[in-house]
A and B are shown apart, each in its own frame.
Chain A
Amino acid sequence: MATNNPIEKQAKKRAALTDTNLLLIITIAVFVIMYVCAVVFLGKGFAKPQTFFNILNENASLIILSCGMSLVMITGGIDISVGQVTALVCMSCAVHLDFNGGNVFTAMLIALGIGLAFGLVQGILVAYLNIQPFIVTLAGMFFAKGMTTIINATQFNVENEEFVALKSTRLTVPGMGSTNKLGEYVPAYVEIGVVVALVVVVVLFCLLRWTKLGRNFYAVGGNNQSANMLGINVKFTKFMAHLLCGLSAGIGGFVFFLHVGSGSPSHAAGAEMNAIASSIIGGTMLTGGVGNIAGTFFGVLSLSTIKNIVASLGLDEAWWTNITVAAMLCIFLLLQSVILANKNKSKK
């Protein structure tokens, strides 16, 4: 085949632009434009690296939850239990540390155990019993919510020394610090949770990109009958997606716990919606088969940046953030719907 064939050149151009890449580019562009605008119009606060790191610190657990959510959404499902599972993890760990005299390591195991248990049960119900994922995880959400209250109904701060030490550990980022009003140099820092979140992002990114299981997620989400014909175990693939999502809810829950250092039934309320919104903004399609962990990461950043912008505009009442989030969600959903409709049309 001749390489100077114009048709082929055109094809090559299109080759790079898969749906996933297209949506990823949109997301990154949205984030960059938003951040640059914030720096230009809202002044120095946003220019400081620490502002960016604080966004990471605040949202480490959301990043992890969103990554798990993206996995499920790529296979064409959804998991709305992650927020309440986070609350349950926080409460269980808090009670374990302060009332039962446990140590941090066992607390971590509890967190992972809870996440896996939810992933396991929900995965079986969705994949092997073929029940709508929304209903299953809605029940999971309410179960976790109820259990949290049953374990302990009130908020309290954890005082376990080992834990408090871990919680207040700050990792300095060299060369990113700034001088404060008194002229002292304040080093920039991130919390441990951020490192965990970045590791999760990298691991899941690699999983989706280079492993067979990861590619099977896309195939199942793209067309699960075709996937079956292509020799993929569709049920197992769906099950694994839910299991991994549950696991990441466990990890995310612990990271959240590490950030807030307390147990409360109202922790992480609405986190599932933020996770879904981040995934959608990050270019994961609800219909499945399209999405990218890198996109999800930028989705979370976009979402939290817009929240910060809303706050620094003086519109710090909670309703403005929710309304902006919903509006953003709506726009991205419509965008996806339109892309999908166009594709179907062009095929016919």
Chain B
Amino acid sequence: MAASQNSLKAKGSGENFFSRLIHNQLFIPIAALAVLVLFNLIADPSFFALSLDKNSAGDPVLSGYLVTILDNASELAILAIGMTLVTSASGGQDISVGSAIAIAGSVVLRVLCGTDSRPTALQAPIIVAFIICVLVSMAFGAFNGVLVAYFKIQPMVATLILFTAGRSIAAWINNNELPVISDPSFGYYGNFIPGIPIPTPVFIAIACMIIIALVLKFTNLRLFSQSVGINPHSSRLNGINPEVVKLITFIILGVCVAVAGFIKVSRLSTINYSVVAKDIEMDVILAVALGGNALGGGKFNMTASIIGAYVIQFLTTTLFKFKVSSNAISAYKAVVVIILVVLSAPIVREKLTELRKKLVPEKSVKEAA
């Protein structure tokens, strides 16, 4: 009797450690990352090779798949920050981020180019272009936010409007011309600053993460948006205005979109309205889901979302390396999404818990015997 109790206790603590590990939100994204790393190590270790080359301007730059991942995931990570907040407060996702990036990029180019689509010199300081771009993106974010918070339209449907019109608005801003910036200093933000071998977007992404960490530390954004997402009724009775909180999260996402859009156009010094940031909304939503955040709103873990973004980029780059075409990648990702949502569906979870309950007693009986 005593012995069996002891073994139960030991087992209990072991399970505690295991379940704590599993229930830590960072577990899934980190485990997924580990699986990908392992897969690449086995399939082709050269995936992890780094080399210091010289780029066309003669500056030393780091290259290799890992650098590509860090570089390309920047926009994703930045957007994941905003999307996590929107998801938390409104219990839905914004599907217009790709279109909104097209608008943001278009605004930047328009301000920098003035009336000429091939200006020899910048028509405005880059910082001015950036600020205008942020303001415009915030306005579009507010548009989505108002539809969701005040008109009570489901987030995904409300953002469908901007999703449909966004790229066209972007084209309209520049009269459907494709402006090209020749000034090399504009390219620094999306590529390399001369002398620094690490891509600039990586630094921008890190800056954004630091900013959001500070915002979460020095404001009540986390507490308020989680409360609103979990229980709007009791939030209201505690003096929170749920509508305003939702609106704020959409505006913050607008800022994230502006930064991501700015990086996107800086990478190429031009824009292709119908292709830029295409399908990025899917990746961002996937990043949030992969981070273990409930897509139905409520509690969130920002770190997990950001790691999720890097995992997605890791997956994409891996698939690219194995010569999967960019359109076919979406099929693989769709399978990942379905597995994730099915596993996180309450009904499935209940069934799994039942199943485990059925299995575990048998096991413990065996162990006791």
Contact = CB atoms under 8 A, between A and B. Distances in A.
A329 interface: yes
A125 B168 contact: no
A318 B168 contact: yes
Contacts of B325: 149, 153
Given A142-B333, A317-B171, A286 B345 contact: no
Tell me if B's interface is mostly helix, strand, loop or mixed.
helix
A337 B151 contact: yes
A131 B289 CA distance: 13
Contacts of A131: 341-342, 345
Interface string A308-342: 00000000011111110111011001100100110
B341 A139 contact: yes
A130 interface: yes
A146 interface: yes
Nearest to B156: A134
Contacts of B208: none
B282 interface: yes
Contact of A149 (B154, B158, B164, B327): B327
Given A146-B331, A317-B171, A330-B161, A135 B346 contact: no
B10 interface: no
B176 interface: yes
B355 to A, nearest CB: 15
B43 to A, nearest CB: 20
A290 interface: no
A136 interface: yes
Interface core residue of B168, B295, B296 (most chain A CB under 10 Å): B168
Contacts of A318: 168, 171
B308 to A, nearest CB: 15
B330 A125 contact: no
B338 A333 contact: no
Interface string B156-193: 11101111110111011000100000000000000000
Contacts of A341: 152
B116 to A, nearest CB: 20
A317 B147 CA distance: 28
Interface string B334-369: 110110011001111000000000000000000000
Contacts of A273: 160, 163-164
Contacts, number: 126
A226 interface: no
A132 B342 CA distance: 10
B161 A329 contact: yes
A71 B260 CA distance: 38
Contacts of B347: 128-130
B327 A319 contact: no
Nearest to A266: B327
Contacts of B295: 132, 135
Contacts of A148: 327
Contact of B176 (A147, A150, A317): A317
B153 interface: yes
A53 interface: no
Contacts of B285: 138
Contact of A333 (B147, B163, B176): B147
B172 A323 contact: yes
B156 A325 contact: no
B346 to A, nearest CB: 7
A329 B164 contact: yes
B121 interface: no
Given A132-B295, A323-B165, A143 B334 contact: yes
Contacts of B327: 145-146, 148-149, 153, 265
Nearest to A73: B157
A319 B331 contact: no
B337 A138 contact: yes
B171 A319 contact: yes
A246 to B, nearest CB: 15
B342 A125 contact: yes
A329 B337 CA distance: 29
A149 B328 CA distance: 6
A105 B341 CA distance: 37
A140 B296 CA distance: 19
Contacts of B164: 270, 273, 277, 322, 325-326, 329
B334 A142 contact: yes
Interface string B10-25: 0000000000000000
Contacts of A286: 153-154, 157
B280 to A, nearest CB: 13
6 contacts: A125-B338, A125-B341, A149-B328, A318-B168, A329-B160, A333-B158
Given A134-B154, A135-B341, 8 more contacts: A125-B342, A140-B334, A145-B330, A149-B328, A149-B331, A318-B168, A326-B164, A329-B161
Nearest first, the 6 A-B pairs at minimum CB distance are A146-B331, A326-B165, A319-B168, A322-B168, A143-B334, A149-B327
